[in-house]
Chains A and B, each alone.
Chain A
Amino acid sequence: MLRNIITLTLNDLAIAFKNKTIFLIVFIPFFVFFSLKLVDRTAAEFKKINIGLIQTETYAPVILQTIISADKIFTVSRVSGEEEGKRWLKDKKLDGLLVRSEKEKGSVVLVVLKKESLQTLSIVESFSALQKAAEGNGINWISDIKTLQEGGIQKQTLPTWILMLVLLVGFIIMPAQVAEEKEKKLLLALLQTPMREIEWLSAKVLSGMVLILAAVLSLHLLGAFNPGNILSYAAFIVAGSFCFSSYGIFLGFLCRNQASARTLGVMFYLPHLLPSALSDFSQKLTAVAPFLPSYQFYEPVKAILLDEGNLSNLSLEWIYLLAVGVVTFFLSYLLMKKRWLM
């Protein structure tokens, strides 16, 4: 009995090796390790807060002097005006921007990207500590916190959930579907009909898009989330669903069977999801992520949902998504014509 169990176990491991499942065992830890290396997590990076001051603004001298002298805690950047400061915040060149408070004399308004973030907490704590050291218990230097991204934590995480859904359909479901049709020779059966290759591919892309649209719609209905500029939002969801459905079909064509497709899907899913979704936490990842189509989908969706962005400002990203979709569609067509791994 034991011999049989060992024999079968070895057989299962051989199958796992053959269908590349074993690669996941190596790939996932390696990828997570690599991603974590890119997240800004060192003490120096965390402590040093990049604070923005407006050149023409008249701040209370005690606040100004304290910030400038606390050079182990703050890096001070000067911006020409509030608009430029906000832009820098969005580009993650600043962690916070100080604007003189109109309501309370001698205090400032802190402008941040998100209220519920480690950076905001860190800024408030540092200010509180510095104020106590300088003045004791006076009026709070930070009288108010303004956020650029509206909505609560639920809405702020919405772009990440949407990205996950889109990538799940694109990189996990679609490759497996295509590989299954290849593995069971169903695609070859369909190719014995007057159906054109391009018809089959279009139908597959459409089915992927429908799955993605249904998932995104369900998410909005369940969470009662307002999509903001609905036309721009719809344009990006359609472009993203086209791009990733087409991409997933292409991956399916690179695989002989479902097991390989699952492995390859995960190997594309994680590198597309994590750098984009974690880019909020890391300037290093923000530098790497724009090369990924997932980032070109995630950032505009985030901008539309949270920052009142619209298609006219994001047309390059939209075209990029469509271009990736068209290129992968064409590559799938070529592989289908060549009966690749069928």
Chain B
Amino acid sequence: MQMEIHNLTKVYTENRGLFPVSLEVEKGELIAVIGHNGAGKSTLLKMLASWLLPDSGHVLVDGINLENRLGVVRKIGFVPETPNLFDFFSVEYNLTLFARLFQVSPGRIEEILKEFNLLPFRDNKIQVLSKGLRQRVSIGRSLLADPPLLLFDEPTSGLDFEMTKEIYRLLRDFHASGKTIIFTSHRPEEIKTLATRVIMLHQGHLMFDGSPQDYFQSDVYNTTSLPC
């Protein structure tokens, strides 16, 4: 078991937040977390990334409690919906800063720049890049320490068709290389073509957990008009 989520809870209001959710995630899964806006998808991912602290419950990653941040920080890479980069600095500066903090070799920066087609933009400031390029830098940064578990919050939100295809390709490549991926999505094609497992949340409650095939044949799919 790569990740165990036990009664994870975060309450914003009576029916907003995440109400006790328990899950187990196996190594190599590619999980789509779906649900309406406000269903608790991002809240779940942000708690797994330690951006938010849960009100109760706990998460184990390879047996290590998520509260032990330094113990799990190299095991999880998180790509938020809006890239959070140092805008006034270059692509290379951003990667170098985080590479130093992760204590990875400068060679890894070159690998990331090459892998994500960022070499022509290495000296460009983040603030002049398109959203797609920023997203690539953000993904590249999350992979600096080569974490086995990747979390993507709405990875294709606001991206054009070409960039969306590029992100799909990256997700498939990461999955093929043995990484475990959890991503939130609104798009049915992402669930159909990418996911090996679907988790559906509604008003903070877990409504469905199973394969994409089962999801599209389920009552939940027929009654909740999700996704689309």
Whether A185 contacts B69 by the Cβ 8 Å rule is: no
Task: Knowing A188-B51, A342-B51 are in contact, say whether A193-B84 is a contact too (CB < 8 A).
Answer: no
CA of A192 to CA of B151 in the docked complex: distance in angstroms?
12
Whether A339 contacts B84 by the Cβ 8 Å rule is: no
Q: Give the bracket for the number of chain B residues in contact with chain A.
A: 20 to 34
CA of A185 to CA of B49 in the docked complex: distance in angstroms?
13
Query: Is the C-beta of B102 less than 8 angstroms from some C-beta in chain A?
Result: yes
Whether B84 contacts A186 by the Cβ 8 Å rule is: yes
Name B46's closest neighbour in chain A (CB-CB).
A188
Count A-B pairs with CB separation below 8 Å: 43
Task: Knowing A339-B51, A339-B53, A342-B51 are in contact, say whether A194-B84 is a contact too (CB < 8 A).
Answer: no
Q: Which A residues touch B142, using CB under 8 A? A: 192
CA of A50 to CA of B211 in the docked complex: distance in angstroms?
90
CA of A188 to CA of B82 in the docked complex: distance in angstroms?
13
Task: Name the prevailing secondary structure of the A interface residues.
Answer: loop
Whether B73 contacts A188 by the Cβ 8 Å rule is: no
Residues 91 to 113 of chain B near chain A (Cβ within 8 Å): 98, 101-103
CB distance from B87 to the nearest CB of A (A): 8
Query: Is the C-beta of B52 less than 8 angstroms from some C-beta in chain A?
Result: yes
Query: Is the C-beta of B16 less than 8 angstroms from some C-beta in chain A?
Result: no
Q: Which A residues touch B51, using CB under 8 A? A: 185, 188, 339, 342
CA of A196 to CA of B69 in the docked complex: distance in angstroms?
9
CB distance from A182 to the nearest CB of B (A): 11
Task: Name the prevailing secondary structure of the B interface residues.
Answer: loop
Q: Which B residues touch A339, using CB under 8 A? A: 51-53
Query: Is the C-beta of A184 less than 8 angstroms from some C-beta in chain B?
Result: yes
Whether A185 contacts B74 by the Cβ 8 Å rule is: no
B73 interface neighbour in A185, A192, A338, A342, Cβ under 8 Å: A192
A193 interface neighbour in B52, B82, B102, Cβ under 8 Å: B102
Task: Knowing A184-B84, A185-B80 are in contact, say whether A194-B103 is a contact too (CB < 8 A).
Answer: yes
CA of A342 to CA of B52 in the docked complex: distance in angstroms?
8
Query: Is the C-beta of A195 less than 8 angstroms from some C-beta in chain B?
Result: yes
Task: Knowing A186-B84, A186-B86 are in contact, say whether A194-B53 is a contact too (CB < 8 A).
Answer: no
Whether B86 contacts A194 by the Cβ 8 Å rule is: no
Q: Which A residues touch B152, using CB under 8 A? A: none
Query: Is the C-beta of A191 less than 8 angstroms from some C-beta in chain B?
Result: yes
Whether B50 contacts A191 by the Cβ 8 Å rule is: yes
Whether B50 contacts A192 by the Cβ 8 Å rule is: yes
CA of A185 to CA of B153 in the docked complex: distance in angstroms?
14
CB distance from B49 to the nearest CB of A (A): 7
Query: Is the C-beta of B1 less than 8 angstroms from some C-beta in chain A?
Result: no
CB distance from A332 to the nearest CB of B (A): 17
Whether A190 contacts B70 by the Cβ 8 Å rule is: no
Interface string of A158-187 (1 = CB under 8 A from B): 000000000000000000000000001110
Chain A interface residues (CB < 8 Å from chain B): 184-186, 188-196, 338-339, 342
Given contacts A184-B84, A185-B80, 4 further A-B contacts (CB under 8 A): A185-B51, A189-B98, A190-B101, A194-B102
Q: Can you pick out 15 interface pairs between chain A and chain B where the beta carbons lie within 8 Å of each other?
A: A185-B80, A185-B84, A186-B84, A189-B84, A189-B141, A192-B73, A192-B76, A192-B78, A193-B98, A193-B101, A193-B102, A194-B74, A194-B102, A338-B53, A342-B51
